[in-house]
Chain A
Amino acid sequence: MALLNIFKRDSSKHTVLATGHVISESSRCVQCGVCSYNCPIGIDVRAHVWRDEAVKHSECLTCGECVARCPRGVLRFAQTDLFVRSKG
């Protein structure tokens, strides 16, 4: 699928470490828990998604594990994503 470059998503660590944080499209979430289960420092990402809040957690490593593992494309990094309104 040929896409405009601006639509390319980039969830790699390097581009988000500075100020990026995880945001969500809550209506796609089914509360399965894959994100929370895979967060290396135990942030309850799923609970943030339920409340439609960004993961602005001081300890978030912005490692991207939750973003990459969510089976339903709910999570994105705010800084690099043009689709999503800033929330939280």
Chain B
Amino acid sequence: MRYVIIGAGVAGLSAVEAIRSVDTAGEIVMISDDPFGYYSRPGLAYYLTGELPDKALFPRTKEHYQNLNFNFLKARVTRILRSDHAVLVDGKSKLSYDKLLIAVGARAMPLEVSGASLDGVVKLDHLTDARHIMSLARRGKTAVVVGGGITALELTEGLLARGMKVHYLLRGDRYWSNVLDKHESHVVEDRLKEEGVILHHKAELKEITGKRGRVSQVTLQDGSIIKCEMVAYAVGISPCLELIHESHLAKDRGILVNEQLQTTDPDIYAAGDVAQVYDPLTGKSVLDSLWNPAREQGRVAGWNMAGRRAAYLKSAPFNVTRLAGLTTTIIGVVGRGKDDDLIGIARGDSETWRELPEAIIAQSGFDVNHMRLMVGEKTLVGAIVMGDQTLSWPLQKMIAGRADISSIRDRIMQPDAPLADLIAQFWMTWRTEVAL
């Protein structure tokens, strides 16, 4: 039995562990084109701010890998040859598989503007990108950030930490408008301003110009000019699908999979950012770019590949992140519509967050300690917790477990309701009932 795993991200690694937990003898080959193999991609943000050296991003030692007993091939898979049960490596050699996992992730969408290929136009996708940013960032110089979601802020914070002056261009009138509400966007924007970021609303990049091949300024649609040495962009991501072209595997925005993470070919599985997975919460197949779902999907795919039948049940997606230094947890469905600054989703993001059904909003707190609950008929369908995180874990469990909150719903809906206390009290009883 030969298992082939394409991709050395968390989905791929987790699949290797799962296969080994079932099949100790089968041959496993992992193929990845990232020269650094497996590392924490969300951790890149902390590398940029200087909280971590890059060598700390690698969770595994050589011994770990040796114990898992698999072969690693640093190469690029260029095609899947289904009729041969093989993959084409670097366009030349064939490697056959019995079971194949596609865990190739997603990549940053390109910046479609004149001058985007100049030196000094950067993105934050891989460790190679982060190192490149570190090598270009200079204290006292100026950077322009465009795009949205978490990565745009991670770039902003990273460049600030490197001593750069940062202009952040927003196309609309507020940050991350289809996930955060007005108040939350403003909290984030106020903090950015306090940190010294220069925000430009309704600002559209027209072109980037350079001198001797390097960025020297940007021009906005309204004609204004910002002199700068760097342009950093995070305009969204898209699953890496080129590999399955001509393979006739079912796809939509990502590769479509069933609950076993199996594609329309029973010997081929897909997991992580590249997979589009059925979401019982909204009844649709959705994309996430989240570490933990990628890990869980890799595990379930690995078990199924090795013959242990298991189902992946997508639960309410959540992320804990820092937005302008403020710890923020986003759970379930919290917003709707489009965001002018992003095409599709970003890193650390989920399509589900914008699928707002009929729900009523209850809010409490102001400024840095803030909680927004999305209240459905009998359950909470989403929540945002900014600042104090005490209740974020209970809320995550209550939303994922669809706790029936009928007993406190009326009180939650009162104006100025003590939301935190109500949730805390409810949680204490509910968690004993469901034995958490």
Interface size of A as a range: 20 to 34
Decide yes or no: A34 and B46 within 8 Å by CB, A1-B388, A9-B390, A73-B389 being known contacts. yes
- Give Cα A8 to B391, complex, Å: 10
Choice from B320, B391, B424, B436 contacting A85 with Cβ under 8 Å = B436
Q: Looking at the complex, which one of B46, B392, B421 makes contact with A3 (CB distance below 8 Å)?
A: B421
Instruction: Please report which residues of chain B, range 355-409, place their CB below 8 angstroms from some CB of chain A when the two chains form the complex.
Output: 364-365, 369, 371, 387-394
Contact A32 B40 (CB under 8 A): yes
Q: A1-B369, A4-B424, A4-B425 are in contact. Are A30 and B42 (CB under 8 A)?
A: yes
For chain B, what secondary structure do more than half of its interface residues adopt (helix, strand, loop), or is it mixed?
mixed
A7: which B residues are within 8 A, CB to CB?
390-391, 424
B327/A73 in contact, CB under 8 A: yes
> How many pairs, one residue from A and one from B, have CB atoms within 8 Å of each other in the complex?
85
The verdict on B292 contacting chain A, using a C-beta distance below 8 Å, is yes
Decide if A31 is an interface residue (CB 8 Å cutoff): yes
Contacts of B40 in A (CB 8 A): 30-33
Q: For B59, list chain A residues within 8 Å (CB).
A: 31, 33, 46-47, 50
Residues of B within 8 A of A46 (CB): 59
- Does B43 reach chain A (CB closer than 8 Å)? yes
Known A-B contacts A73-B327, A73-B392, A83-B393; A32 and B424 likewise in contact (beta carbons under 8 Å):
no
Complex contact B56–A37 (CB within 8 A): yes
Please report which residues of chain A, range 1-19, place their CB below 8 angstroms from some CB of chain B when the two chains form the complex.
Answer: 1-4, 7-9
Instruction: Give bound CA distance, A46 to B40, whole Å.
Output: 11
Quick check: is B52 within 8 A (CB to CB) of the other chain?
yes
Asked if A72 contacts B424 (CB within 8 A), the reply is: no
Instruction: Give chain B's interface residue range (CB within 8 Å of chain A).
Output: 35 or more
Q: Is B85 an interface residue (CB 8 A)?
A: no
Query: Quick check: B43 and A33 within 8 Å, CB to CB?
Result: yes
The verdict on A57 contacting chain B, using a C-beta distance below 8 Å, is: no
> Residue of B at shortest CB range from A84?
B393
Residues of chain B from 41 to 82 with CB closer than 8 A to chain A in the complex: 42-43, 46, 51-53, 56-59
B292 to A28, Cβ gap below 8 A? Answer: yes
Which B residues from 81 to 116 make CB contacts under 8 A with A?
none
Residues of A within 8 A of B56 (CB): 33-34, 36-37
Would you give 17 A-B contacts (Cβ < 8 Å), ordered by A? Answer: A1-B364, A1-B390, A2-B418, A3-B424, A7-B391, A7-B424, A30-B292, A31-B40, A31-B59, A32-B43, A32-B46, A32-B57, A33-B52, A33-B57, A33-B58, A34-B46, A71-B51
- Interface residues of chain A, those whose CB is within 8 Å of chain B, are 1-4, 7-9, 25, 27-34, 36-37, 46-47, 50, 71-73, 83-85
